[in-house]
Amino acid sequence: MAIDMKPYTIILFYFALISLLSNFRVSMIINAAAANITVVDLIPRDLLLNSSLTPTDRVRNSLLRSVRRAKFLAAGASNFSRRELAAAATTDIVYDSSEYFMKFSVGTPPVEFLAKVDTGTDLTWIQCTPCTNCYHQTQPLFDRRRSSSYRHVPYNSRTCTSSVDSPGLVKYSRGSDDRCGYLIGYGDGATSAGEIAAERLTVGQLSVPEIIFGCGHDNRGEFSEGSAGMVGLAGGSLSLINQLGSSIRGKFAYCLPEASFHAEPDLGNLSFGGGVSGRRVVSTPLVRKAESPYYYLTLEGITVGNRRLNWGSSSRSSDGEGNIVIDTGTTTSRLPAELYRQVAAAVERQVKLKKKRDPQEFLSDCFEVKTSDDYEKLPTMVFHFRGGDVKLRNYNGFVETGRRTACLAFMADTYNLPIYGTLAQGNFIVGYDLERMTVSFKRSRCSSEW
Global pTM value: 0.80
Residue 259 lies in a domain: no
Mean pLDDT lowest for which of 133-137, 264-268, 312-316? 312-316
Using one digit for the tens of pLDDT, what is the confidence trace for 222-255? 677 778 999 999 988 889 999 998 889 899 999 9
Is 219 part of a structural domain of the chain?
yes
Q: Which residues are catalytic?
A: 118, 327
What is the per-residue pLDDT for 328? 86
**310 shares a domain with 359:** yes
What is the SS3 assignment for 121? coil
Does the structure show a pLDDT above 60 at 18?
no
CATH number of the domain at 48, please.
2.40.70.10
Q: Are strands 111-118 and 229-232 parallel, antiparallel or unpaired?
A: parallel
Whether 177 and 283 map to the same domain: the answer is no
Output the pLDDT for position 450.
37
Q: Is residue 1 part of a domain?
A: no
- Using 50, 70 and 90 to split pLDDT, how confident is the model at 55? low
Q: Comparing 57-66, 82-91, 99-108, 315-324, which segment has the lowest mean pLDDT? A: 82-91
User: Does residue 271 sit within a domain?
Assistant: no
One domain for residues 111 and 244: yes
Residue 428 lies in a domain: yes
Contact (CB, 8 A) for 417 and 323: no
- Would residue 272 count as lying in a domain? no
Quick one: 225 and 287 in the same domain?
A: no
Please tell me whether residues 283 and 241 are part of one structural domain: no
Percent of the chain with pLDDT over 70: 72
Query: Which range marks the domain in which residue 288 is found?
Result: 279-443
Number of domains, the chain: 2
Residue-level pLDDT at 39 = 85
Give the separation between CA 194 and CA 124, rounded to whole angstroms: 12
**Where residue 159 falls among pLDDT bands split at 50, 70, 90?**
confident
Whether residue 148 contacts residue 261, with contact meaning beta carbons closer than 8 Å, is answered with no
381 shares its domain with 312: yes
Can you tell me whether residue 59 is helix, strand or coil? Answer: helix
301 and 386 together in one domain: yes
Give the 3-state secondary structure of residue 286: coil
Which residues, listed in sequence order, are joined to residue 218 by a DSSP beta bridge?
133, 193
Query: To the nearest whole number, what is the mean pLDDT of the chain?
Result: 78
Tell the burial category of 15 from Cβ atoms under 10 Å away from its Cβ (0-12, 13-18, 19+). Answer: middle
Distance (Å, whole) CA 421 – CA 221: 24
Residues 236 and 113 grouped into a single domain: yes
